[in-house]
Amino acid sequence: MKNKKALVWFRRDLRDHDHAALSAALTEAEQVYCTFVFDTEILDALPSRRDRRVHFIHQSLLELDAALRARGGGLIVRHGLASEEIPKLVHELGVSTVFANRDYEPAAKQRDAEASASLTDSGIDFHCLKDQSIFDGDEVLTQAGKPFSVFTPYKNAWLKRLTAADCATYAGDGCLAGNELAGVPSLTDIGFENTDLTELGIEPGMSGARMLFAEFAAGRIKRYGALRDFPAIKGVSYLSVHLRFGTISIRELVRSALANEADTWLSELIWRDFYFMILDRFPHVVGHAFKPDYDAIQWENWPEGFAAWCEGRTGYPLVDAAMRQLNFSGWMHNRLRMVVASFLTKDLGIDWRLGEKFFAEQLNDFDLSANNGGWQWASSSGCDAQPYFRIFNPITQSERFDPEGKFIRRYIPELAKVPDKYIHAPWLMGRLEQEAQGVVIGRDYPGPVVDHARAREKTLARYAVVKKAV
């Protein structure tokens, strides 16, 4: 027998298809309402009222609301503390069950615990389902029954565990309950402003995700492994922001990866599950090293160096171009995320947590689990991290992955006329050639903020102190 009324609480799953919570609600209830809360606990902490992510969410909600209205329903959008707004809405609607999809961030888990406790006190059921990952909880464990801390064994176990059912589409047919409360407030109503999403070519919502995925699946998916490391080439999917906000289903992407034998891309999707698992099972990684011994590293207190990194004026062209891309667009190529993170921690000797925070403020696709995992990987403090003695050389990385300097010239126009042989280290040009190319190092473009070879030796010494103490 079906429950009379249910509420689906959308969070980072802004689509009306292949949606675990919506599917369960439609199966178990006669009347299904849908809601989203602009959570002030999150919004009030943002440094700017002109935030691309909030704009992206808002535009995606408009499309989701339209899709739900086409099915007889609509989206009830509230603005306030989610742990308070959901119980209030439940009582207004008279629903008996709330359905939502699981989140793995500590703050989100606390929010859900508070909402669940409040609902339970009123006799309301609260069901959280798996949706944003393929596996979670105890589904992928070591033979000893423990969570994995190394990716490759996790990946092998993940693949061995995978069946067609794990990435099957959730049914979502059925009409929704209409309500006069449905509607999406304007950005102004919640205290935010429009941004430059359109100018940047970012298309929010399910339609934006569909367009990008169709383009990627039509050809690039089969060449992803060969093209993914070159920032001047259109080789990646650009779906990260859509995965972050759930305007596309992870199950659909995994099915496509398998069908196209796109093993490298599938591996990247498995990394996503891996970092969700790490955050879920080892929440101390928020603010602390996964390997506690690495919290003892003595980082440099160097505000000027950090500012140079943030602003893209370290004197190392690939690093600076990547940071300028981030500041301009809110996006950075994955290879470059590794390069700039290594540079901050191992060339400048600056605490990875400062870089993690800067990325959290700037990235359109910011996801705590992946951002934390990536920064800890680069700083060698995380699970299955790059060994501390493996330090990216920003010049050789540039020569290898942007050999003609196309990406560099795109974001550092002052280097546009520098010959290819100097584009990766323009300070090696003589003064006369610098003047001839219209870029004098130290005047038109900064010289290197550090010497890589010397910085490398300092980093090895810094980490060796910690290793010796272990």
Nearest residue to 320 (alpha-carbon basis) of 421, 236, 425: 425
In angstroms, the CA 431 to CA 167 distance is 60
In angstroms, the CA 45 to CA 49 distance is 10
Alpha helices for 203-330 (secondary structure H):
205-217, 224-227, 240-245, 250-259, 263-281, 303-311, 317-329
93 in Cβ contact with 177 (< 8 Å): no
Q: Give the residues across from 126 on adjacent strands.
A: 98
In angstroms, the CA 301 to CA 306 distance is 9
In angstroms, the CA 16 to CA 10 distance is 10
Q: Any residues with CB less than 8 A from the CB of 307 and at least 6 apart, and which?
A: none
315 in Cβ contact with 447 (< 8 Å): yes
Give the catalytic positions in this structure.
Answer: 268, 271, 299, 334, 352, 375
Q: Give the residues across from 127 on adjacent strands.
A: 99
In three state form, how does the secondary structure of 6-35 look? EEEEECCCCCCCCCHHHHHHHHHEEEEEEE
Which stretch of DSSP H or E encloses residue 39? strand 29-39
Q: Residue 272: left (phi > 0), alpha (psi -120 to 50), or beta?
A: alpha
Q: What amino acid occupies position 35?
A: T
User: With b meaning 16 or more CB within 10 Å and e meaning fewer, what string describes 260-276?
Assistant: eebeebbbbbbbbbbbb
Taking the alpha carbons at both ends of the chain, their separation in whole angstroms is 60
Q: Residue 345 CB: number of other CB atoms within 10 A?
A: 28
What 3-state class would DSSP assign to 174?
coil
Q: Residue 39: left (phi > 0), alpha (psi -120 to 50), or beta?
A: beta
In angstroms, the CA 185 to CA 247 distance is 19
In angstroms, the CA 133 to CA 273 distance is 6
The CA angle 374-215-19, to the nearest 5 degrees, is 65
